[in-house]
Amino acid sequence: MKGKVGLVIGLAAGYVLGSRAGRERYEQIKAQAEKVWNLEPVQEQVGKAKEFAKSSAMTLPSTLWDSAVKVTKAASVKGSPTERLDAAVKAAKGSTDDVERAADETAAAARSAADETAAAFQAAADDAIDDSSTVGRGGA
């Protein structure tokens, strides 16, 4: 699915950049691209991507920060240097699981969002291509 979208984008970009069809064809391609971009399914996915960036993507940095705070607090407790080091190592080991879980959740959410966006974009692009091919052939 992702390969098809990339291929279509690559072909379109190559055609536009290497075309000798002139300004009129360029304007047609540009108008079609803007039409796809402004379609409701594409804009819904853009909104989802923005929300993802605001929420899920921030899970990992906040977990890293919380883990660093735990380790710092553990290292600053009263006791001998060895006891403080042991407490910091123990806190770090406990935080490792939290960071790993947050990284896995963020990666899964990013994969899911990317797949949904690619599918929506592909469907919108297919619709736009179908629309343009029927218009070019004198269809309805």
pLDDT per residue as tens digits for the range 10-57: 777 777 676 666 777 778 888 888 888 888 888 887 888 778 777 766
Q: According to the model, what pLDDT value does residue 20 have?
A: 62
Q: What is the pTM of this model?
A: 0.48
Segment 54-104, tens digit of pLDDT:
776 677 778 888 888 888 888 887 888 888 888 888 888 878 888 888 888
Q: Using DSSP, state whether 56 is helix, strand or coil.
A: helix
* CA distance readout (Å), 14 to 20, 29, 41, 117: 11, 12, 25, 23
80 conformational bin, left if phi > 0, alpha if psi -120 to 50, beta if neither: beta
What's the sign of the alpha-carbon dihedral 106, 112, 113, 115?
Answer: positive
Q: According to the model, what pLDDT value does residue 57 have?
A: 65
Cβ–Cβ < 8 Å for 125, 5: yes
Whether 136 shows a pLDDT value over 60: the answer reads: no
pLDDT, the chain, mean:
77
Q: According to the model, what pLDDT value does residue 44 have?
A: 83
**H-type helices in the chain, by residue range?**
2-18, 23-37, 40-54, 59-75, 81-136
Average pLDDT, stretch 126-136?
Answer: 65
Q: What is the DSSP letter of 88?
A: H
Q: According to the model, what pLDDT value does residue 131 have?
A: 66
Domain residue ranges in the chain: 1-38, 40-119
Q: According to the model, what pLDDT value does residue 127 have?
A: 75
More confident residue, 51 or 140: 51
Q: According to the model, what pLDDT value does residue 110 have?
A: 79
